Structure 1
Amino acid sequence: MADWMALDSLLTCPQAGRPVGLGAHGMVDHAALQARSCAWQAAFAARPGRDWALYVEDTLEFAAALYGAWHAGKRVVLCADNLPGTLQQVAAYVDGHAGDLPSGVSGLACGAVTTAAPQARDVLDERSCELVVFTSGSTGQPAAIVKRLDQLAREVEALQQAFAGLVEGAQVHGTVSHQHIYGLLFRVLWPLASGRPILPRRFFHEDLVAGLAQGPSILVATPAHLKRLPGQLSWQSVHGQVRAVFSSGGPLSAEAAALATRLLAVPPIEVFGSSETGGIAWRQSGDAQGAWRPLPGVQWRLDQDCLSVNSAHLAEPGWWATQDRARALADGSFQLLGRADRIVKIEERRVSLDALERGLCLAPGVAEARVLVLPGAREQLAAAVVPVDPTLLDAPAEQRRAFQQSLNTHLASHHDAVTRPRRWRLCAALPLNAQGKVTQAALQALFQPLLPEPQWLQRGPEQARLQLVLDPALKVFEGHFPQAAILPGVAQLDWAIHFARQCFALPAHFQRMETVKFQHVARPGDVLDLALELSVGPAHGVLTFRYTSAAGVHASGRVVFADAA
């Protein structure tokens, strides 16, 4: 560890020639980064107040600003993004904003570096330098988590102790933002301390492949990024160059791990932890048991089947009880069994279902709301909403969609697109079981209905017409025609009879079908017009049905009913 620099003295004495990463104008050395940090220190020192929100797009500029603020005696509040809602949320905690801010938001910017060479600075006090991150916490309310430099330093040292042999001499690429604690540790603090150059964040896969192929590399990513690696790119060019792939923020599926291993020729290393606890454990894909091994210096135990940890990454000595259910394994590792609270991970983003529900209930026109996670190949957030105005349930589809869009807009100031519901259901009341409780199964059933919601255009004793939107979640699409989702003909017959009974006095007994034709397939998303007509004889009734859409006639036929079997 000849090149190792402690975090408290990282930017104290300039070291010309020590590369730290690629900036906007080429490779930046340690002395240039320190000069920029001194400029930020002067800018922060000239302003009153201790707490400053920081958001900077460029990774090296962010590092300079962070250390400049610490050397100026400021506490930094880390913003996940610079959305207006985020800045408004942290406003109560800070004396000002600094960095890259949207138009209309005033804040601190840093001018050009002076021509004078940067001067040596005092070593930082590890316990006085603080960083604040926001997390949903166990209650679902946004909580400010204070991280001292000594906590961050011990975590970086644990990463170096665990993985130095894998990553020695490699440059650091990433798809994650340094504005999050995972990106801060893996893309800023650890590389700077160990002398590994930092490369700009890669947003596009083509750029990522080109960057990784340039030399020995580390990739810092998330499961959401790794499972979307496109196979058609020239990944062979990175084989032998990628020394390690790190993934954190949520569990990496076996499919995503296999894809990443095949394309990058390195099995990913998952790191498990939280803002409150810091890093806890790691595992490498391919372990049949999915076993997590504690990072150096981390102790763990099970309390009431939930994981508790003790390490120097915590704010105070002692045990921290998590809400992660776990099982101990014989070799000293453990398996994770899921969360015990209502904080869930969507695309590696931690989301509070309680907070979303509270936000929805504050929206105009909402009486009740429940948010849930719909399982599947790609988990989605969904919201069941009881509107104040019950007539909205039978309103035209455009009006209901407009209401749902208004709710989405209402949530947008504090939740980005990933952390907002993607599926919506309006209902007269939340489904209750015999004990008067809303169950997960009943909520999920709302999003996999047996029948489409009818929009009645005409209802009479002998003629009716209705519009049906074919929701992709309809249960009839599940398991039928696996190559392409198609509405089965038997479902069309069943629907015609079902809706006919809602408006006609049909005879009780089915007798036979006549001239039934299926002329054009119907797929998820189609909007069907169903015309129904009843003709009644002395002891029987004939139901004529016809499904049409903009594509033409889908199906038609007659069903004969009789009073007696």
Structure 2
Amino acid sequence: MDSQKASAAVMTIPMSQWLSAQRADDHLVAWSESREWRQNEFRRDVLSLITKLHALPSLRWAVCLEDNYAFAVTLLALLYSRKTPVLPGHFRQAVLAEKRDEFDALITDLPLELDCPTLTYPGETATFLSPLPEWPCNASLILFTSGSTGKPQKIIKPVASLERESQWLAALWGEDLDGAYFAATVAPHHMYGLTFAFMLPLSLGVPFCARSIEYHEQLQTLALARSIVLTSSPAFLTRLDPSLATAKLRQIFSAGGPLTRDAAVLAKSTCDCVPVEIYGTTETGVIAHRLPDAPWTLFDDIHFSHRADGSLTLVSPLIPQAGGIILSDEVEILPDQRQFNLLGRKDRVVKIAEQRISLNEIEQRLCGLVFVSEAFTLTLEKQGRVCVAAVLVLSAAGEEQRRELGHNPFIGQLRQTLRTWLSPVSIPRYWRIVPAIPVNQQGKRAAAELQEMFL
């Protein structure tokens, strides 16, 4: 079936109706390899948590849950309680402690200890369940950008925008997804996972897997018993094992970074399915889609606009800025104005000591050295001063040189070499050597983990 055709007859249900009688009590909401959750239990669990939340004054709740069913229950309960879900995007305690001013309380299924009121999920079921409150018409939640190109930025996301995204996705792929089971390698705590692994299945009324998929073998086991739609990333798809028997999937969505041709071919051979790539950002929501090797196609109601100063902006009903926003990627618009090619990210420029510093240039200079195979740079604020920090993966020559010289003289040599091209404030002040640059479930640089290296 052509995954790019429109199927507008497929309707989505708004979040305010997910617990309504439109869905039968035995409707399957979620499942894991060991159990299932039906609509009556889903409704009861949300009501039970609402009862607990009503007794607590905290308004902004950080949601740190590994279980995807628990995430669905919690998000609905917080919104019904007129409290704000805050999705930090990670569960690292040290970095969460630094963000304490962004939330008042925490709900988690992990052993996190922060200096704020904390609810442990699932906890005891409330003995008295109050009726379902009225749905808040202006419900919203808070996410953060990945921070892969700088400090993570807080984004307030209206539920209405999330629902509109689901309508667009259903119009394109709804018929293909009918009767499927959703599974994901990405978490719903980021924009992509929130849209495809949480909003879309619940809006369509199809079940989702309560556990995130970590290994190809898990996916293969699930696909033997169910027709699976996989929400994934290039980081996972490149690790598929061609020696395993084909796991026939209904659909694969991929986002978080460019999907190479080899990874697309591997997915087709191991999963009998060509991935659909999704392009978007936390700020904009979904922007475009494509099949491998094809140009990107904008979703309906989104368009590019040329400003008087020559800059290009993206205008979308999913973003609040009426004049649109400037993308962090360079794009080449094709003649029909609906398709485009991505040309790569714009330089990450920061200002330090009144100087404009390109983090991309620092990384390029580092990777141009024989001793370095991979580099990532970020900014830190230490004792009121902003400076550059670098995380390096060394080449074999670099490892040998560091052993011979010792760590500090080796770093000194790198710093001295960089002076040939960079200003003093551009040269990294803090350094970490790692076996590999960490990436998150979305396949992007794990900004929180990288930042934590310097705490």
TM superposition shift of 1:429: 5.0
Q: Matches of 1:227 and 1:56 in 2, distance apart? A: 26
Cα–Cα, structure 1 residues 86 and 2, in superposed 2: closer, same or farther, change >3 Å? same
SS of residue in 1 equivalent to 2:189? coil
| Residue aligning to 2:67 | 58
SS of residue in 1 equivalent to 2:102? coil
Letter in 2 for 1:222: S
- Measured against aligned partners, the alpha-carbon deviations of 1:3-57 in whole angstroms (never above 9, x if no partner) come to 7321232235574021111158622112211111111212222111211111111
Matched, 1:218 2:229: yes
Letter in 1 for 2:102: Y
Q: Matches of 1:367 and 1:315 in 2, distance apart? A: 31
Instruction: Give the number of aligned pairs.
Output: 384
TM superposition shift of 1:160: 1.1
Letter in 2 for 1:266: C
SS of residue in 1 equivalent to 2:25? coil
Q: Matches of 1:308 and 1:367 in 2, distance apart? A: 30
Q: Which runs of 5+ in 1 are unaligned?
A: 344-351, 373-380, 384-393, 405-423, 444-470, 472-565
| Residue aligning to 1:342 | 348
Superposed, 1:164-183 pairs within 5 Å as 164-183=174-193
Superposed, 1:346-361 pairs within 5 Å as 356-359=377-380
| Residue aligning to 1:318 | 323
- Measured against aligned partners, the alpha-carbon deviations of 1:477-515 in whole angstroms (never above 9, x if no partner) come to xxxxxxxxxxxxxxxxxxxxxxxxxxxxxxxxxxxxxxx
Cα–Cα, structure 1 residues 51 and 425, in superposed 2: closer, same or farther, change >3 Å? farther
Letter in 2 for 1:167: L
Matched, 1:296 2:306: no
| Residue aligning to 2:157 | 147
- Measured against aligned partners, the alpha-carbon deviations of 1:199-240 in whole angstroms (never above 9, x if no partner) come to 1311121111110222222011000100110111111xx33x
| Residue aligning to 1:400 | 407
SS of residue in 2 equivalent to 1:209? helix
Letter in 2 for 1:26: R
| Residue aligning to 2:270 | 263
Q: Matches of 1:202 and 1:357 in 2, distance apart? A: 30
2:134 equivalent among 119, 122, 136? 122
Cα–Cα, structure 1 residues 425 and 121, in superposed 2: closer, same or farther, change >3 Å? farther
1:113 equivalent among 103, 125, 133? 125
Deviates further, 133-142 or 144-153: 133-142
Q: Matches of 1:215 and 1:166 in 2, distance apart? A: 14
Letter in 2 for 1:188: F
Cα–Cα, structure 1 residues 50 and 324, in superposed 2: closer, same or farther, change >3 Å? same
Q: Matches of 2:30 and 2:63 in 1, distance apart? A: 21
TM superposition shift of 1:341: 2.8
The structure 1 segments of at least 4 consecutive aligned residues displaced by more than 6 Å after TM superposition are 115-118, 352-355, 401-404
Matched, 1:275 2:282: yes
TM superposition shift of 1:85: 2.4
Q: Which runs of 5+ in 2 are unaligned?
A: 1-8, 350-358, 363-375, 395-400, 429-434, 436-455
Matched, 1:68 2:77: yes
Residues 327 and 336, structure 1, Cα contact 8 Å, conserved in 2: yes
Residues 79 and 86, structure 1, Cα contact 8 Å, conserved in 2: no
TM-score by length of 2: 0.75
SS of residue in 1 equivalent to 2:418? coil
Residues 38 and 118, structure 1, Cα contact 8 Å, conserved in 2: yes
Residues 81 and 133, structure 2, Cα contact 8 Å, conserved in 1: no
TM superposition shift of 1:396: 6.2
Residues 8 and 149, structure 1, Cα contact 8 Å, conserved in 2: no
| Residue aligning to 1:426 | 414
| Residue aligning to 1:157 | 167
1:40 equivalent among 49, 71, 74? 49
Q: Matches of 1:425 and 1:131 in 2, distance apart? A: 47
- Measured against aligned partners, the alpha-carbon deviations of 1:346-378 in whole angstroms (never above 9, x if no partner) come to xxxxxx87994433x849xx9975649xxxxxx
Q: Matches of 2:409 and 2:118 in 1, distance apart? A: 36
Q: Matches of 1:114 and 1:367 in 2, distance apart? A: 49
2:333 equivalent among 328, 340, 348? 328
Deviates further, 133-142 or 148-157: 133-142
TM-score by length of 1: 0.61
Residues 244 and 266, structure 1, Cα contact 8 Å, conserved in 2: yes
Superposed, 1:484-495 pairs within 5 Å as none
TM superposition shift of 1:310: 1.7
Q: Matches of 2:413 and 2:71 in 1, distance apart? A: 42
Q: Matches of 1:138 and 1:211 in 2, distance apart? A: 32
TM superposition shift of 1:90: 2.4
**More relative contact order in 1 or in 2 (CA 8 Å, sep 6+)?**
2
Deviates further, 141-150 or 294-303: 294-303
TM superposition shift of 1:119: 3.8
